[in-house]
Chain A
């Protein structure tokens, strides 16, 4: 029985609630127990580490200490930015005794360095594995041609992320292939989408996002899978802005990989939060709704 402390982070409570919902359903189907740390707080994300490393580490360590007091040794978070914050905090504290003491001095309960933080994708790929992840599949995803987009910080910097290949990751590819989807050879898996420049320099985000969308279509995909709320936002929410600004006519659905897994497991589009996606995936999903896959039971 696998169990993890589950750190949603702020996005999953808000704009990325579909990601949260679909992850919870996927974990339920796979028999993985997830426990929300009581009184969890913000990880600090970009603003904290851009301002003060001590603050950034303390914000994370506070949550990690809570996880420790829960008796859990593994933390799963779907958001790469939260994950990156946790991993950097842990690396700094483990490597520097003085820093560790300074951080722990700021906390009510000190953090003893016993928690392993992983992304949800990492847990599914490394701890559960594509074969077991294919167990609960009951729906045939024929018609779906997916370009998996990993974004920037899921597996970089390589030494901190310690997950998959930094230039050509394959975890999402393999998971999606295992559950019966067709995954295209996508050259822009880790190409920048503009990230948090959406507000201060929107034109950069629009032009970079356009390149990613365009490459996905060139590769023969009809949808993009993501594992990050910011990736999803830039590629999905801003797609109409891209079209207006650059005169393009993209209409590429951008789904969380967990939404796709949920659909394969037999959950309804509503259950996996497809209504929250801006670019509609109805055209792709309805035709592929039919027959139960031959010879695939559950588990």
Chain B
């Protein structure tokens, strides 16, 4: 047994509060250690070269690096020792930075703790066994959940890269939030004009199959081999016969259906095509508002449909797709106005959200692009925009910034002036966040060229006065209270997690943070990966972001998938559970507690034993702690290996 130990200075990060030379000296005296040294930056190229040289020159059979967290560089150093001919699992990392030098200033204490931590790592590495990965084949198919701009971009890039792509979209049409926008900042491009061609590409690409108005029912399997059950929800219209002519929508007597696409700013018909550029351009019955379903009497759409596509008896269908990787691009939701009691809690029709205003501005919206007050259909002459309606407010539970509102408010204010030249727009703001290319110039234009009155201060109350709404707020730059009588008030409501995000995360075995957004592997360096192999993120599902950022992440996720599935076989992680069948009594408690369903029952020469499904096991160790006989052990973290660390610490 020849153990080599390398104590890293990490510049001043570790050496600043730990006497690294002393740690090396004390480590040299441990049984099994034949070589111990300290080095400035072990992870650097010369640093790694040092390790490889020492392995060769000193004939090392085990290596310990005492440095940062294994989450930082375990992978790096494993590769290093492997290049020098050692099995990568004959390596241990002792965290003397995040767990030691970075915690306190007491040099004596920190050095003592570093010595103990290294001692534990040495005790463990001596008991490490070489582990070898096995390979398994992968399916060269990818699933994209969500067909907003991020999902669409990811799907197109994957398909263009040669992968069969399955797209599942919850709404009746693809396009997401971007399809609802009128114009986009900072170029004032027409949103659907730039998105439409992409939508058509998704629909027509030979390698993309689209399941619209569908949801993920169930996901089984592991990276490279997922089995996904998709629920295709009943639309009550046979989409293979529907031509999207719109006759049904025109004749439907059910006028008060909630318009999901228009976020309820105006009602729609019970049978509807969401918007003119919808893809698929097919009708759907919302049974909650349909007289045929509620009262059993109507049937007008069935009578007028020229292709006899209406089918009231339709049921949900299930389809199973087998894919090798999954990209989650499920977007975001918006804070409901009922969470904003100071602003009327949604009781007043002339206080609307940003997305509802966008639909009023849009020529294919409920007012054909004329800005009209929802209460009386009059044209507003004074419009007040309120930034941060809910965002950056800990008391509402939304402590973060929603990313794009400052920009879209400036855009909407500019468009308001275009639509109604004699109007006056006001924006109540706390800060103006305009960090993208051309963004600051854009918000400045709103103020300087379009005469939008920007007032720095929050709004404390909005109340009705006659036909107007009085917006009462502060102007902190003037140091005064202000009251603006508005004809229409637009709230930039906070971006929140998409409805159903938590349930989907559980099916995918990925994490979400306290705000409901999906968690990336590393906030700086791995923004589109999750900690679950084979599942990637793109777009606002990972955190509120604008169109260019979403498109960027869509392409990034696709690149990750293309690289993952570029090989014929993938290597499995050998840090998994293994059953000692002689010790196993077949109680199967491990099978019941495994969170990944990675253990199955097997009959071995007439005896019931547990058996681990290697490719599904995530190496969490719950089974090892559950087993009453110690028969199932987690490789690389066996009871003996862990107890050796404990004994080393307690000096038994």
User: What residues make up the interface of A, taking CB atoms closer than 8 Å to B?
Assistant: 165-168, 187-188, 191, 215, 218
Contact = CB atoms under 8 A, between A and B. Distances in A.
A64 B464 CA distance: 42
B465 interface: yes
B341 A165 contact: yes
8 contacts: A165-B341, A166-B341, A167-B341, A168-B345, A187-B464, A191-B461, A215-B463, A215-B465
Contact of A168 (B341, B464, B465, B466): B341
Contacts of A165: 341
Nearest to B464: A187
A215 B461 CA distance: 14
A137 B341 CA distance: 34
A215 B463 CA distance: 10
Interface of B: 341-342, 345, 347, 461, 463-466
B463 A187 contact: yes
A123 B464 CA distance: 31
A187 B466 CA distance: 11
Nearest to A165: B341
Contacts of B461: 191
A215 B464 CA distance: 9
Contacts of A188: 463
Nearest to B342: A167
A188 B472 CA distance: 13
Given A167-B341, A168-B341, A218 B466 contact: yes
- Sort A-B residue pairs by CB-CB distance and give the 3 closest, nearest first: A167-B341, A187-B463, A187-B464
Given A168-B347, A215-B463, 14 more contacts: A165-B341, A166-B341, A167-B341, A167-B342, A167-B345, A168-B341, A168-B345, A187-B463, A187-B464, A188-B463, A191-B461, A215-B465, A218-B465, A218-B466
Contacts of B345: 167-168
A218 B465 CA distance: 8
B395 to A, nearest CB: 10
A218 B468 CA distance: 12
Contacts of B465: 215, 218
A44 to B, nearest CB: 28
A165 B465 CA distance: 22
A152 to B, nearest CB: 14
Nearest to B470: A187
Contacts of B463: 187-188, 215
B338 to A, nearest CB: 10
Nearest to B466: A218
B34 to A, nearest CB: 60
Nearest to A214: B465
Contacts of A167: 341-342, 345
Contacts of B464: 187
Nearest to B472: A191
A113 to B, nearest CB: 28
A168 B347 CA distance: 10
Nearest to B469: A187
B66 to A, nearest CB: 46
A166 B347 CA distance: 15
A166 B461 CA distance: 13
A113 B453 CA distance: 55
Contacts of B466: 218
A280 B6 CA distance: 92
A188 B347 CA distance: 14
A177 B362 CA distance: 42
B56 to A, nearest CB: 66
Nearest to B345: A168
A215 B466 CA distance: 10
Contacts of B347: 168
Contacts of A215: 463, 465
Contacts of A166: 341
Nearest to A167: B341
A191 B341 CA distance: 13
Nearest to B348: A187
Nearest to B347: A168
A187 B343 CA distance: 11
B393 to A, nearest CB: 14
A88 to B, nearest CB: 20
Contacts of A168: 341, 345, 347
Contacts of B341: 165-168
A165 B344 CA distance: 12
Nearest to B463: A187
A191 B470 CA distance: 14
A218 B467 CA distance: 11
Contacts of A191: 461
B472 to A, nearest CB: 10
A51 to B, nearest CB: 29
B82 to A, nearest CB: 58
A165 B461 CA distance: 15
Nearest to A188: B463
A218 B463 CA distance: 12
A188 B344 CA distance: 11
A64 to B, nearest CB: 30
A216 to B, nearest CB: 12
A165 B339 CA distance: 12
B465 to A, nearest CB: 7
Nearest to A187: B463
Nearest to B465: A218
Chain B CB within 10 A, most for which of A167, A188, A215: A167
A39 to B, nearest CB: 42
A218 B341 CA distance: 21
B269 to A, nearest CB: 30
B256 to A, nearest CB: 22
Nearest to B462: A187
Contacts of A187: 463-464
A164 B494 CA distance: 25
A187 B471 CA distance: 13
B340 to A, nearest CB: 9
A166 B342 CA distance: 10
B341 to A, nearest CB: 3
A191 B466 CA distance: 18
A148 to B, nearest CB: 15
Nearest to B461: A191
A299 to B, nearest CB: 35
A187 B464 CA distance: 7
Contacts of A218: 465-466
B470 to A, nearest CB: 9
A220 to B, nearest CB: 12
A218 to B, nearest CB: 7
A166 B395 CA distance: 14
A187 B341 CA distance: 12
A168 B464 CA distance: 14
Which of A167, A187, A188 has its CB near the most chain B CB atoms (within 10 A)? A187
A218 B470 CA distance: 13
B535 to A, nearest CB: 40
A188 B342 CA distance: 11
A177 B347 CA distance: 19
B462 to A, nearest CB: 9
A101 B341 CA distance: 39
B513 to A, nearest CB: 26
A188 B465 CA distance: 11
B530 to A, nearest CB: 37
Nearest to B340: A167
Contacts of B342: 167
Nearest to B343: A167
A165 B345 CA distance: 11
